Structure 1
Amino acid sequence: MVKKIVLSDVDSVVNDIKSMRVRGALNIAVTAAKSMKKLVKEGGVIETLQDAGQRLKSARPTAVSLPNSVDYILYLAEKNSHLGDEEFRKQLLDDIGRFIQEMENSLDEIAEIGSNIIRDDDVLLTHCNSDTVIEILKRAHSKGKKFTVYATETRPRMQGHITTGELLDAGIPVTLIVDSAACITMETKKVDKVLVGADTVCVDGDVVNKIGTSQVALCARKHGIDFIVAVESIKFSPQSMMGSIVKIEERNPDEVWRDRPSILGVYNPAFDITDASMVDIVVTELGIMPPEAVYQVVKEKFSWELRQ
């Protein structure tokens, strides 16, 4: 009975992630970890954790932070499996707690590092709604730096509305633009930097992010503008080192046009892939690096997974 009750809580988290009530790759990873921590508290054994992990990982196929979070907790469970029941539970709860704290701290660390690349009078452009980008901009603003931001609306779910709201609340000057105005905005508004988040970064430096990111990157390259990706290392993909192809999630056509003609097809990919050659630097909690450095970070940070 306990197992069923606990897993029903996991299913609720899965539904929240699928429906985007829980969104943002880091927030998804932390939420999944907290869900599994609750399982351990309520008596879940390794088999229960494995079952829950599979359900959680199915919720967002593109955001690698989710399987990274789940798989690391399963690794910790296996690592501690030789312990007695009570000692196992105590050790695993401590380990998961530290892991969650590290993920939550990474956002603050990126904000501090990333804020140093913002200069007075910078004109910035961002796409979608990224916690890392928002925190970098808020930190730079708190240091007294003066800059302006252009934010794409990011159809079809209009995450740019969230971005503009958060920046306005922080007192940061921001202007909303339609997605198709990104290129002309870079030219006419003299954009200095493009700053985006990411859902996944592959070992070759390719960046998986909200649909439209690759087009923004191409426009930035055309105009000689730095394209900067701010991302927690939990979003680096060890699976890509082993030849796994990132699955691009396709969402409900109703997001694009609910009352469309019945015979009209709609293609609604949620993400696209920006080639590493379009990326100038990657800002992480580990520091600022070129995209080609991701390979070495994955080898070191995810050695536990590469040995599986």
Structure 2
Amino acid sequence: MSVPLGVEEIADRIRTMQIRGAGEIARAAAQGLVIAATESKATSVQNFVSDLEGAAQALLHTRPTAVSLPNAIRFIMHRMKSFAQKTVDVESIRAFTISTGQSFINSSKMAKEVIGEIGARRIRDGDVLLTHCNSSATTSIFISAAKMGKRIRVFATETRPLYQGHLTVKELTDAGIDVTVIVDSAVRHVMHEVDRVVVGADAVAANGAVVNKIGTSLIALAAHEASVRFFVAAETFKFSPETLIGGLVEIEERSPTELVDEEFLKA
């Protein structure tokens, strides 16, 4: 059993953060399983399930903190394995798995749009907003508010060391929204100008705790100090089931070379 090249490419792009944002990661993982189902050469249902399990494992070990990724895989794999108990036809389970994967992708995109509509109602005309990192759910809120005719201004942190905030700036600028990019350490300095903070989430624990890009807690503290309302935009597939039984969300630690070069580390 070998993992299809398309799945390996998606896993590598998630691992190296070419695919970013919890929602995009979940959809990419689902697409990876669709590719695995499409390209499987299995001649039995048992072998087909084995092929999909191999692809799932390749995807699971890429970004541990983004709970959306294992949740997307669980969504597809659980349904596929249940269907496997009812059929001996490989083409039937292939079609079912592809349909299930596409269903997850489509419903997650719809969820983003619904969050945009609901979140936009919490934004007032003339609001100054602040966001951190790059969240498709958050940008959906801002763009939906702008489409409603609300005049808004956004502060976007650059989000070091990989500058995901630049992606947010481009998305909002392309939508005609007034955006100011700030260094991460300037958040407390500008908070007195901000009406609302809106961020995304990598994971949400059973007790309501939010896990997001490093620096989010400092922004929350600055908002609390300034009595600025703080909102988190997240789809339900970002809720961590392990935390229901006392499990912790694993926090990913990236390579030190994202901060400094190899020569600095050797000094």
TM-score range, shorter chain: over 0.9
Aligned to 1:177: 182
Counterpart CA distance in 2 for 1:176 and 1:260 is: 30
Q: In 2, are the aligned partners of 1:111 and 1:139 still within 8 Å (CA)?
A: yes
Unaligned ranges ≥5, structure 2: 43-47
Q: In 2, are the aligned partners of 1:111 and 1:135 still within 8 Å (CA)?
A: yes
Task: Give the share of equivalent positions with the same residue, in percent.
Answer: 43
Unaligned ranges ≥5, structure 1: 265-308
> Once the 2 structures are TM-superposed, how far is the Cα of residue 20 of structure 1 from its aligned partner?
0.9
Aligned to 2:49: 46
Aligned to 1:116: 121
Counterpart CA distance in 2 for 1:143 and 1:260 is: 51
Q: TM-score, normalised by structure 2?
A: 0.92
Is 1:68–2:71 an aligned residue pair? Answer: yes
Aligned to 1:257: 260
Deviation beyond 3 Å, 4+ runs, structure 1: 259-264
Counterpart CA distance in 1 for 2:255 and 2:150 is: 41
Aligned to 2:143, which of 138, 142, 151? Answer: 138
Is 1:59–2:62 an aligned residue pair? Answer: yes
Matches within 5 A, 1:1-40: 3-4=1-2, 6-40=3-37
Is 1:201–2:204 an aligned residue pair? Answer: yes
Aligned to 2:160, which of 140, 155, 158? Answer: 155
SS at match of 2:11: helix
Aligned length: 259
SS at match of 2:17: coil
Greater mean deviation of Cα atoms: 100-109 or 85-94: 85-94
Counterpart CA distance in 2 for 1:120 and 1:197 is: 22
Counterpart CA distance in 1 for 2:102 and 2:201 is: 25
Please tell me the residue identity of whatever aligns with 1:145: K
Residues 77-97 of structure 1 show CA distances to partners (whole Å, capped at 9, x for unaligned) of 111012122322223332222
Aligned to 1:216: 219
Greater mean deviation of Cα atoms: 124-133 or 97-106: 97-106
Is 1:83–2:87 an aligned residue pair? Answer: yes
Counterpart CA distance in 1 for 2:104 and 2:165 is: 30
Q: In 1, are the aligned partners of 2:133 and 2:157 still within 8 Å (CA)?
A: yes
Give the superposed CA RMSD. 1.5
Please tell me the residue identity of whatever aligns with 1:128: C
Is 1:234–2:237 an aligned residue pair? Answer: yes
Residues 87-142 of structure 1 show CA distances to partners (whole Å, capped at 9, x for unaligned) of 22223332222222111211111111111111011111111111111111011101
